Amino acid sequence: MQTILIRLGAVSLGSSQFTFAMVVAVFVLCIALGALAVSAIRRIRGRVLVANLWALLVLLAALYVLLDGAPYGAHVLRSFFRDQAGSFYAYQMAVFLSLLVILAPPVVLSGATLPLMFNVLRGEPDALGQAAGRLYSWNTLGSLLGALIGGYAVLYWLDLHHAFRLALGALAVAAVLVSIRIGGVQKGAGAGLLATTAIAIALLGSWSPHQLASGVFRMRRPIAQTYAGTEAFFSAYRSDPIVFYDDGPNSSVAVKRRVGPGGDIETALVVNGKGDGSLVHDFV
């Protein structure tokens, strides 16, 4: 999930060390806050873990819907700051605070998950050490596989929105299993709940290549459509067809085609929202 959000930050804010550092900082801070919140509660019932997982799933699904318009949101934020050196730190702070507000709810719940699982294991004092060791092992293995497979290898075949929905599916499975184990949900009801959730995840719309490849972070000043909303703002970009788009492990690549002022067809290569070359006519 963090890898996907770093890439979305790159196509929305521009690929830089600042974008990477701020996304990572928000994750580390919010995970710590989630764990701290659990430690501050004296008595926690086991069903809190169930509620936490389902709330996390709902918040991440809502975030999925919002992320399609991330380039537009970044452009609106950028429009409030002039292209002067004195605005740099204020702009970066505004970006960090915006990321914190948007990402904090789901990431805080994510940070609370592992401590809540330890809380459930406290009911087995005779095997607490063994259970804690297993929990740490599976958590470490899951983090490793999630980063290598979900954040890298899967992108050889799937796009960012597919990887995000796979993560939602994995979370749905975990939520149903925990609901059955400690939430009192019957297996049949759990299977039906999982099927319903899987259908809902599958019905989530795909992210728009036109928006992700727009590169509007390069616009330093507002335009007439800046505050008109996502649809109105990107309406001009949809007139130029995207003949190729793919999210890979290292970058998001698009090939755009448009008719130039003289009627010639121009083909442009866009990498992470930034133009990397163009030519007139198609020489392939």
Domain-by-domain residue ranges, the chain?
2-212, 216-280
pLDDT reported for residue 200:
95
Q: What distance in Å separates the CA atoms of residue 236 and residue 217, rounded to the nearest whole number?
A: 16
154-194 confidence digits (pLDDT tens): 999 999 999 999 999 999 999 999 999 888 889 999 999 99
Q: What is the mean pLDDT of residues 124-151?
A: 80
Position 73 pLDDT exceeds 70:
yes
Residue 191 φ then ψ, to 5°:
-65, -40
Kindly give the pairing relationship between strand 252-259 and strand 242-247: antiparallel
**Confidence bin at 284 (pLDDT 50/70/90):** low
Q: Hey, what are 114's tokens?
A: 């592992």
Residue 1 has pLDDT above 60, yes or no: yes
Residue type, 195: A
Q: What is the dihedral of CA 126, 128, 133, 137, to 10 degrees?
A: 120
Stretch 236-261: mean pLDDT, rounded?
84
Q: What percent of the chain has pLDDT over 90?
A: 49
Amino acid type, 266: E
Q: What is the pLDDT of residue 234?
A: 87
**What is the predicted pLDDT for the residue at 168?**
95
**Residue 112 and residue 33 in contact, taking contact as beta carbons nearer than 8 Å:** no
Yes or no: say if 3 and 152 are a contact pair by the CB < 8 Å rule.
yes
Residue 216: pLDDT above 60?
yes
Buried b (16+ CB within 10 A) or exposed e, 71-83: bbbbbbbbeebee
As a whole number of angstroms, the distance between CA 115 and CA 250 comes to: 33
pLDDT of amino acid 124 = 63
Please report the pLDDT score of residue 127 as a whole number: 65
| Predicted local confidence at residue 281, as pLDDT | 66
End-to-end CA distance of the chain: 37
| pLDDT over 90 at 214, yes or no | no
3 state SS of 3:
helix
Question: What residues pair up with 280 in beta bridges, in sequence order?
Answer: 266
What's the pLDDT score for residue 125? Answer: 63
Q: Interior CA angle at 248 toward 243 and 252, to 5°?
A: 55
Which of 8-12, 20-24, 42-46 bottoms out in mean pLDDT, i.e. has the lowest? 42-46
Tokens 């904090």 sit at which residue?
104
For 217-240, write each residue's pLDDT tens digit.
888 888 888 888 888 888 877 777
Q: How far apart are CA 268 and CA 226, in angstroms?
A: 24
Summarize the confidence of residues 200-207 as an average pLDDT.
Answer: 93
Rounded to two decimals, the pTM is 0.89
**Among candidates 23, 7, 213, which has minimal Cα distance to 103?**
23
64 pLDDT band, cuts 50/70/90, is: very high
Are 83 and 217 in contact, with CB atoms under 8 Å apart? Answer: no
State which amino acid sits at residue 120: V
Strands (E) across 113-225 are located at none
Amino acid in position 62: A
Amino acid at the residue 172: A
